[in-house]
């Protein structure tokens, strides 16, 4: 049995009856089957996914501890449980610390402990700067990771006093650093200073403009497959999909957001997902909470799908394509089970890629993904 009893002091339990308005949950709904901390942390040995809430938002200039985690829960618990072989647990909410740093430390400790015992953690925020605590959980374990953020903005505003506007600077440049690679998905060009992109490019990090993501969303699957950590700011969604988001009328639609979290769930490497920036007060009929709940459902669906993927060593489960570009011989693999692609590097290791990478290589063009991987090696 995994001993997580030491985490009790950091957590407030879940009130399942309050979430269901004292009605309970009928057979088949997630709220009926989830292992919840209702005064005592449940046995997590059988749990694949563990939810933890953190309503901290002082990093965004708001001293009120947000109810967002529980509002999201109320919608998530009402969804139907299709993936019986994936067990979900909910250990409650991080208690509000005396200071912002205290809340960071508590979240870091809880997430780090859960990752260390092999769990996939879903964090319900809270403001986007909680990404720092999410990252620090890996740092505390001395794990070097690939991190991805989905956000309409790039939070590198060093002239802002708000942590939520500049936390990426500390995360990407702080020492010691455990970021092997960083990806930023769905930024909106007109909201981002060109100098920020230049800075990230010099660091060999990859940024994907909203328009490109919407036109080629399947190209984001390999990006997320290579990542261990995903931070998703609701500001990446268009207003009609997330009416609590006032950043821009443009952004990802609801289906695209669900596709991205499904890709994240399919990843064999992904072990933490943080959903941040949901403002309960600005929502309409809890539509944003419903959207987030469905994004979580698709993350679980992706995990279920990913479990049916073969190991690369099981070559009979893959189509193998030998090709050459720029006088470099390489091998592409395509899964017979999921249709996903891998590309061989000169050191004979494989990285996640897409069908488009194979098409480029077959046309004697060097795939951009291959080049970037070589630059970082």
Per residue in 218-272, pLDDT (tens digit) is: 999 999 999 999 999 999 999 999 999 989 999 999 999 999 999 999 999 999 9
What does pLDDT average to over the chain?
A: 94
* 179-203: average pLDDT: 93
Which pLDDT band, with edges at 50, 70 and 90, does 4 fall under? confident
CA distances to 33, 258, 299 from 27, rounded to whole Å, are: 8, 25, 22
Q: 279-315: per-residue pLDDT in tens?
A: 999 999 999 999 999 999 999 999 999 998 999 999 9
CA 86 – CA 46 distance, rounded (Å): 9
End position of a domain, from candidates 287, 306, 325: 306
For residue 361, the enclosing domain spans 315-376
Task: Please say if the pLDDT value at position 123 is more than 90.
Answer: yes
CATH number of the domain bearing residue 294: 3.40.800.10
Give yes or no: residues 77 and 151 share one domain.
yes
The band of 2, judged by pLDDT with boundaries at 50, 70 and 90, is: low
The encoded tokens of residue 67 equal 């109810």
Task: Give 54's pLDDT tier (boundaries 50, 70, 90).
Answer: very high
pLDDT band at 24 (very low <50, low <70, confident <90, very high): confident
Handedness of CA 146, 150, 153, 155 (dihedral sign): negative
- Are 256 and 358 members of one domain? no
Give the C-alpha separation, 254 to 239, whole Å: 10
Give the CA dihedral 289, 292, 293, 297, nearest 10 degrees: 170
136 & 200 share domain: yes
Q: Are strands 229-233 and 328-335 parallel, antiparallel or unpaired?
A: unpaired
Q: Is the pLDDT of residue 69 over 80?
A: yes
Please, what is the end-to-end C-alpha distance for the chain in angstroms? 40
Q: What local confidence, expressed as pLDDT, does residue 44 receive?
A: 94
Say whether both 251 and 166 belong to one domain. Answer: yes
CA atoms of 306 and 75, how far apart (whole Å):
25
Q: What is the 3-state secondary structure (H, E, C) of 189-203?
A: HHHCCHHHHHHHHHC
User: Does 238 lie in the same domain as 371?
Assistant: no
- pLDDT (mean) for 44-61: 96
**Confidence band (pLDDT; 50, 70, 90) for 376?**
confident
Same domain, 293 and 352: no
pLDDT at 8 over 60: yes
**pLDDT score, position 202:** 87
Whether residue 102 sits in one domain with residue 29:
yes
Q: Which of 306, 331, 350 is the last residue of a domain?
A: 306
Looking at the structure, do residues 65 and 130 belong to the same domain, yes or no? yes
Bigger pLDDT: 240 or 4? 240
Label residue 140 exposed, middle or buried (CB < 10 Å: 0-12, 13-18, 19+). Answer: middle
Confidence check: pLDDT of 3 > 80? no
Do 299 and 321 reside in the same domain of the chain? Answer: no
Q: What percent of the chain has pLDDT over 90?
A: 85
pLDDT tops 60 at residue 360 = yes
Is residue 1 predicted with pLDDT exceeding 70?
Answer: no
Domain boundary among 306, 324, 354: 306
Identify whether residues 85 and 232 lie together within a single domain.
Answer: yes
The total domain count for the chain is: 2
Q: How far apart are alpha carbons 101 and 367 in whole angstroms?
A: 43
Q: What is the pLDDT of residues 144-189, one digit of tens each?
A: 999 999 999 999 888 889 999 999 999 999 999 999 999 999 999 9
137 phi, psi to nearest 5 deg: -60, -40
Same domain assignment for residues 242 and 337: no
Q: Where would I find the H helices in the chain?
A: 16-19, 30-33, 68-76, 100-116, 131-140, 163-173, 194-202, 210-215, 220-225, 254-266, 287-306, 355-362, 368-376
Poorest-confidence range of 3-12, 53-62, 241-250? 3-12
Q: Are residues 10 and 86 in the same domain?
A: yes
Contact partners, residue 240, CB within 8 Å, separation at least 6: 249, 253
């Amino acid at each position: 049995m995994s001993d997580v009893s030491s985490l009790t002091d950091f957590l407030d339990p879940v009130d399942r009856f309050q979430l269901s308005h004292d009605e309970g949950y009928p057979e088949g709904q997630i709220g009926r089957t989830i292992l919840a901390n209702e005064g005592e942390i449940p046995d997590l040995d059988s749990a694949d996914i563990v939810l933890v809430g953190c309503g901290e938002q002082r990093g965004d200039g708001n001293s009120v501890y947000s109810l967002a985690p529980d509002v999201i829960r109320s919608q998530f618990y009402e969804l139907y449980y299709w993936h019986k072989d994936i067990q979900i647990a909910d250990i409650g909410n991080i208690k509000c610390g005396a200071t912002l740093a205290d809340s960071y430390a508590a979240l870091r400790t809880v997430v780090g402990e859960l990752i260390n015992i092999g769990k996939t953690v879903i964090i319900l925020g809270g403001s986007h700067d909680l990404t720092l605590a999410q990252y620090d959980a890996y740092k505390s374990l001395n794990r070097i990771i690939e991190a991805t953020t989905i956000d309409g903005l790039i939070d590198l505003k060093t002239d802002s006093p708000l942590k939520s506007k500049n936390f990426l600077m500390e995360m990407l440049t702080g020492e010691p650093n455990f970021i092997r690679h960083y990806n930023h998905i769905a930024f909106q060009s007109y909201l981002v200073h060109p100098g920020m992109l230049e800075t990230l490019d010099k660091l060999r990090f990859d940024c994907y403009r909203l328009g490109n993501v919407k036109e080629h969303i399947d190209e984001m699957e390999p990006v997320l497959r290579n990542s261990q950590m995903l931070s998703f700011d609701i500001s990446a969604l268009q207003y009609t999909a997330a009416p609590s988001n006032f950043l821009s009328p443009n952004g990802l639609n609801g289906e695209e957001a669900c596709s991205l979290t499904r890709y994240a769930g399919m990843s064999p490497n992904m072990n933490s997902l943080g959903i941040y920036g949901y403002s309960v007060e600005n929502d309409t009929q809890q539509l944003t909470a419903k959207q987030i709940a469905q994004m979580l459902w698709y993350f679980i669906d992706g995990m279920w799908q990913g479990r049916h993927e073969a190991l690369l060593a099981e070559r009979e489960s893959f189509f193998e394509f030998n090709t050459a570009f720029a006088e470099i011989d390489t091998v592409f693999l395509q899964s017979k089970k999921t249709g996903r692609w891998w590309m061989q590097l000169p050191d004979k290791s494989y990285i996640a890629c897409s069908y488009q990478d194979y098409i480029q290589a077959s046309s004697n063009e060097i795939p951009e993904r291959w080049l970037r991987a070589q630059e970082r090696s």
